[in-house]
Structures are given as C-alpha cells and as structure tokens.
Structure 1
Amino acid sequence: MIVAEATFGRRVAVRRDEILERLARDGRVEVGELARALGVTEETIRRDLRALEDRRLLRRAHGGAISLVADETLAHPPSDGLEAAAAAVAGLISDGDAVYLGAGRGCEAVAVLLARRRGISLVVGSAPVARAAMLANPAVQLHTIGGTVQADGALSGMWAREQLAGLVMDFSVVEAEGLAPDGQLLASDPERAGVQAAAIAAARTVVVLAGPDSLKGSGHAKFAQLAEVDHIVTGPGLPGDDLDRLREADVDVIFTDSGPES
C-alpha cells in the first residue's frame, strides 16, 4: 500500500512538473490540451491546476491557466477574454517567425506569450509592449521602432513609419478601435493610424485584435481596408452586421470563448 501511494505521488509530481514546464515555455496552458498530452482526464488536470494555484505557481483562467510572470509583466492584470485572445493570436504564429506587435493591452499579452517561444523575433511599436516582452524573457530577440512616444507608450511619427517601411515581417498584429461603415478599420488618432498602416504594408500576414465593443469604438482615423486583413480575433457578442461585413471581405474571424463559428 505504501509503495502504491509513493508511485502515485511520483506520477502526480511528474505530471505537475510537466504542466509547469509547458507554462514556463508558452505562458498559458489549456485543460483539454494538457489532458490529451499527459493521458489523463480533464478533471485530473483541473485538480492539478488548483493544487498548483494553491502553491502560487500559476493563476487559473478560463479553460486553463496563465503564468504568474505573465500577470506581473502587464500594467493591468489581463481579463480572461484578453488572455484567450492573446492565446489565439500566438497559436497562429510559428517558432522562428518575425512578428510586429503594435500598441495596446492585447499586444502586451501577446508579447508575453511570444517572448517565451523559440527563435521568434519581435519588433514592437510600444514601450509597454517592449517591457512586457523583456520581463517575460530577458533573452528575447526584441527590436523597437523609433518615433515619438505617445501618452500610452505607443510609438508614432515619421521615424516609426520609415523604420517599418524597411522591414519585411511574417506577421503584424495590431489593435482596432472601430469599424467604419465602408469597411475601414479605425485607430484612435492619425499618428497611430499611420504607423499601423505601415505595419500592415510590411507584413505577409495581418492579424487584428478587436473585441466586439472595439469595433463600435470611438476611433476616427482609418488605417486599413478589411481586404488587407487576414485574421481578426474577437470575442462573443459581435453584432451580426459587423460579422457579415467581415465575412464578405473574406477575413478569417477567430472567436474566443463561445462566439459563432467562423
């Protein structure tokens, strides 16, 4: 009996160590993926996550868990929706890719996940995004564009646009703050719109982070037509007319949580 209990305890310890290794590498783990990879039930994984959270080794989030380091690198703790959106974006990107990340809390969360990946080169257009990446992994390959620093840390202006004009990126990830009736994505101001347009022109694949409320936002400066976008990551609650416009433009709509199928 004692031998059996010791063997069971070792299996649990090995499994939980594997969970922590995956978390350190990816910044987030999913219950379903862990259950399949480790050959146990989802309920067993949930028990493991609760036990590890009790030891303050992670924080449980919707459908999985996030590294406490990821929490600490962001100015504001990310919501479950933000974490899920960041994980969806990170899932599109392969090790070794060159990725531009714009400004915003969503891009900060993506930076934390990508900084832990192997061989990814990050170019960022925001001081807070650069900080998040460096705190997540001080050895990350990180470059910042030049330019004027805005109040929220975003980089803008002629220098920023010229830097981007000389680059070829595998992915550009930017955030939208509105969708115009003519299908143009909107930024909060012309300076930011100019940088985001340059980032899109520099990329082979364009990903836009836009919550359902963001597409009804107060942005007034156009930076891209929907036809220039490959993927939009959003959450449940997107109005039907917005969804129709996205699909008519042949944009791949990726819903986090329980949104409509794309």
Structure 2
Amino acid sequence: MLTTERKKTILELLARDGRVLAADLAAAFGTSEDTIRRDLRELAAEGLLQRVHGGALPASSAVAPFAQRRSIESSAKRNIGRAAAAMIAPGQIVIIDGGTTSAELVKHLPLSLAATVVTHSPTVAVALVDHPSIDVIMIGGRLYKHSVVNVGAAAIEAMSHIHADIYFMGVTGLHLTEGLSTGDMEEAYIKRALSARAAETVVLASMDKLNAASRYAIGDVTLANTVIVEAQADAAITQALQAKGISVVRA
C-alpha cells in the first residue's frame, strides 16, 4: 500500500473509531510500528490528528487564531453562551475564561445582574464595561495573543487570592480518556489554576471540541463538574460523561 493510501485509511479509521493505536495499525497494514509512527508524525504536522502515547486521537479544529474564530457565526456557541449565562446567580463571584464561546456568554448577561467577574481575558473585561452592577477584576500577565488572554506567573499569583463560586472554562479538546486540553502550555497552567480557585468548573464544549485533543493537558475530564454541549451532541459521549459523575447541559 502506498504511503498516501495508508494515511488516508488511518484518517478514515480515526474518524470512525475516535482513536487509533500504532500497534493495531502496523498489524493491519503488515508494516512496522516505526513506519506507522512516521505516518502519524507527518499527519500530526499537518494538523490532521493529535499524537498520544501508543497512537493518535482526532485533532481539535478549534485552534485557529482568535480573530478568525470570532468571525465565524455559530448558533451553537450562542446557545452554549446563553445556557452558561443562565447559571450565574446574583452576588456570585464568577471566573470567565477567554475564547469565542466565553464572548458569547458575556453577551447574554443581563444588565441588571449584580455580580463579580474575574477574568484574564481583556476581551471579556471590555465587554463588561457597560454592565453597571458587575464588578470586573482583571487578571494581568503576559498576553497570549492567539486566545487574547493573560498568562504567566503573575496571573497565577493574582488568582491565588480568589475564591470563586463558578469558573467557565474554554477548551480546545475534551476526550473521555485524554481529558481536557488546549493548544498552549501556559494557557493549560492558567486553566488548571483557575479551576482550583472555584467551587464549580463548567466546561463550554461545542461539537468541534468533543472527542478531540490538543497538545497540552489541562487535566482529567472529571476536573469539570458540568459540561455544556450542543443539543445534538453525541449521546454516547454525554452518557459517558454522566457515568463519570459529570452533569451535562444540552444547549
């Protein structure tokens, strides 16, 4: 079998099964695991999959620059944002992550809401300027331009003094065995630190995030207390999340 044909088949198997193992592929193709690992490396370099120990997972498609992602109209993200906003009660201290789905969340906060929002996203902070009863605490640090959020040691130190009621986390990958992930190492550190400062972590996960993985692990999927998904999200995934004790909200 030609290399191009083998790679095409690998991607088809990955789309069908949600995971491929190098040893199984080598046996199926009658080739060495070294050859399969080379195929996986090359496919990963093209952004077509995410390599993990022993094989590969679907790569998250949610890795485009922020401006490009923001320009894409998505009713799913609006619905997820609306459902997330409805979870916020007056008087709460709420941490809101960066990202395009978080931007939709902020749009659905009523002007009458009295609450405190902690964020490391300049975009979220500016969007709340006209909310008269929302106090905004801005976490500073080095600006990670891809997601337009502040990261680094200064940001982690600042958030160590916060006790929040709820944290709305954005991810680029949510996989049942590989957990929650994102495309930048420092951003993964920040998300773990924010989750540790909140009584409840709610993950916002449109369908392009489900059963996908990115390079840097945030933590096990059980780091989430609740996951908000699209109405048509795969029942097998949502049931598996619920089996792990995670609440699932369909939006």
TM range (shorter): 0.5 to 0.7
Partner of 2:125 in structure 1? 130
> Gaps spanning 5+ residues in structure 1: where?
1-74, 257-262
**1:181: Cα distance to partner?**
4.9
Determine whether 1:110 maps to 2:105: yes
| Alignment correspondent of 1:193 | 188
Residue 146 of structure 1, aligned match among 140, 143, 156: 140
* Aligned-pair CA distance for 1:119: 1.7
Cα gap change, 1:101 to 1:107, in 2 (>3 Å)? same
Q: Segments of 4+ in structure 1 off by > 6 A?
A: none
**What is the rounded CA distance, in whole Å, between the counterparts of 1:117 and 1:77 in structure 2?**
29
Partners in 1 of 2:158 and 2:236 — Cα distance?
A: 37
Aligned match of 1:175 in 163, 170, 174?
A: 170
Letter in 2 for 1:86: G
Q: Greater shift after overlay, 238-247 or 173-182? A: 238-247
Within 2, Cα distance between the matches of 1:113 and 1:180?
28
TM-score, normalising length from structure 1? 0.63
Deviation at 1:241, TM superposition (A): 4.0
Kept in 1, the 8 Å contact 2:98–2:120? The answer is yes
Higher RCO by CA contacts (8 Å cutoff, separation 6 or greater): 2
Q: Give the match for residue 91 of structure 1.
A: 86
Q: Is the 8 A contact 2:118 2:138 kept in 1?
A: yes
Q: Secondary structure at the match of 1:99?
A: strand
Deviations 1:95-134 (A, max 9, x none): 1110000110111121233362432101111111112222
Residue identity matched to 1:145? I
1:31-51: per-residue Cα shift (whole Å, max 9, x none)?
xxxxxxxxxxxxxxxxxxxxx
User: One-letter code of the match for 1:141?
Assistant: D
Counterpart residue number, 1:247: 242
Shift of 1:213: 1.2
The residue matched to 1:204 in structure 2 has which SS?
coil
- How far the C-alpha of 1:138 sits from its partner, in A, is 5.7
Shift of 1:211: 0.7
Give the number of the structure whose residues are more often helix, by fraction. Answer: 1
Q: Does the CA-based 8 Å contact 1:115-1:140 persist in structure 2?
A: no
**What SS is found at the alignment partner of 1:114?**
coil
Q: How far 1:245 sits from its partner (Å)?
A: 2.8
Q: Counterpart of 2:200 in 1: which secondary structure?
A: strand
Displacement after TM superposition at 1:179 (Å): 2.3
SS of corresponding position for 2:167: strand
CA drift at 1:230: 1.4
Residue identity over aligned pairs, in percent, reads: 21
Please state how far the C-alpha of 1:78 moved relative to its aligned partner. Answer: 5.1
The equivalent of 2:67 in structure 1 is: none
- Which letter maps to 2:138? T
**Residue 109 of structure 2 aligns to a residue in which SS?**
helix
The secondary structure found in structure 1 opposite 2:231 is: coil
**Aligned partners of 2:134, 2:86: CA distance in 1, in Å?**
18
What is the root-mean-square deviation in Å for CA atoms of aligned residues? Answer: 2.2
CA contact (8 A) 1:177 1:216 kept: no
State whether residues 183 and 245 of structure 1, in contact with CA within 8 Å, keep that contact through their aligned partners in structure 2: no
